Amino acid sequence: MTISRAHRGGLADWWFTVDRVALFVMLALFGIGLMLAFAASPAATGGPMTAGDFRYALKQIAFALIASGILGFTSLLSLRAIKLGAAIIFALGVIGSCIVLFTGSEVLGAKRWIDLGFTTLQPSEFLKPSYAILGAAILADPVPMKLRGITLSKELVSFLVLLPALLVLAKQPDFGQTAVLFTLWGALLFFNGLSLVWTSLLGGVGTVFLTLLYIFVPYIHHRVEQFLDGDKTGYQAGLAMKAFEHGGLIGVGPGAGTIKYRIPDAHSDFIFAVAGEEFGVMLCGLIALLFCVLSVRLLLRATRARDAFAQLAGAALASVVALQAFINMGVAMNMLPAKGMTLPFISYGGSSLFAVAMTMGFALSVTRQRPKIGEQDHSAFRFLREVPA
């Protein structure tokens, strides 16, 4: 069955306007993630002397099927629908993150997950893609925003919208997600044409924030000290480096890894080390290359978008995935201090997989080559309307 350009149905329009190169890269990363789920599941469910099973791999297949549906559905949405959906998802993400403070499951002193029985949900994962859209919509709105006759800076409005999420994440505490969201806001301002002076000032504020965390938060201080002291490599990072060394260039082979059984969170935060042990530097390099191709491709498509919103949103969404992948791989290779952050598409977990599917679905939608944008304005939220081409 083939799809003809002459047929102007919804599926045909989607197929010939979506970035198929980026789509194929996403599917390749999905496939690698499922392969590594089978490699890491025995280590997560067993140990060096006990047999594990593939329960996590089977659950990851179910998560991947749902995530594929999310990816496809969101990539079909119009720009107006994406803006409205992102506003709703961001609000629900903030509310869910507040609920976590009172009813969430506590792990290592932090509350980040809601236990649904059959799985856990991390609401903060959905704040990143939804804010990328919401922040882009606010900054791209051509009409000045006023409150009681006073014109408000769009940069200030975009920060005030983000502020509740930053506060609730800091309360959990989840300073990693807080820093990522703040960086996302800064990236949106940079893409929107913020001067280098203000960009430097924002970078300085971020540096001060990180310094204060280092001084006053004990576990962050400990992790940074371990990272800076080459003789005191952290337990997880040390095992990850041994896994890469054991794997070498081509790896020890599927299922033949041994160090993975000793790595905590081998199926999630340190799955990149599992890839290095069993499939070697070659697969790790391929994963890094795919993330580079995906990020650059989406950024280039965003530059060719017909309106400011699509340009900002496309660039921000590409930055979200690139930043998260860089942090995860950097921690696994002991290039960054330890930080619990999943590898997009690949790490185990429903929340992570659903959020990255939503992120990439939004990205495919905003970077589609639409011949004309002319939809009705939304009556409730002025900044959610389409910007004329």
**CA geometry: angle 132, 81, 157, nearest 5 deg:** 40
Per residue, the 3-state secondary structure of 194-254, as one string, reads: CCHHHHHHHHHHHHHHHHHHHHHCHHHHHHHHHHHCHHHCCHHHHHHHHHHHHHCCCCCCC
How are the residues of the chain apportioned to helix, strand and coil, as percentages rounded to the nearest 5?
A: 70, 5, 30
Who wins on pLDDT, 379 or 148? 148
- The pLDDT tens digits of the residues spanning 354-377 come to 999 999 999 999 998 766 544 444
Cβ burial 289-299 (10 Å sphere, 16+ → b, else e): ebbeebbebbb
The mean per-residue pLDDT over the stretch 263-290 comes to 92
The token duo for 65 is 């099927």
- The pLDDT tens digits of the residues spanning 282-301 come to 999 999 999 999 999 999 99
- pTM for the structure as a whole: 0.87
Torsion (CA) 93, 94, 99, 105 in degrees, nearest 10: 60
Bridge partners of 147, per DSSP, are 150
pLDDT bucket at 11, cuts 50 / 70 / 90: confident
Classify the C-alpha dihedral 266-294-74-30 as positive or negative: negative
How many angstroms separate the CA atoms of 253 and 18, rounded? Answer: 36
CB 362, CB 116: distance < 8 Å: no
How many angstroms separate the CA atoms of 160 and 164, rounded? Answer: 8
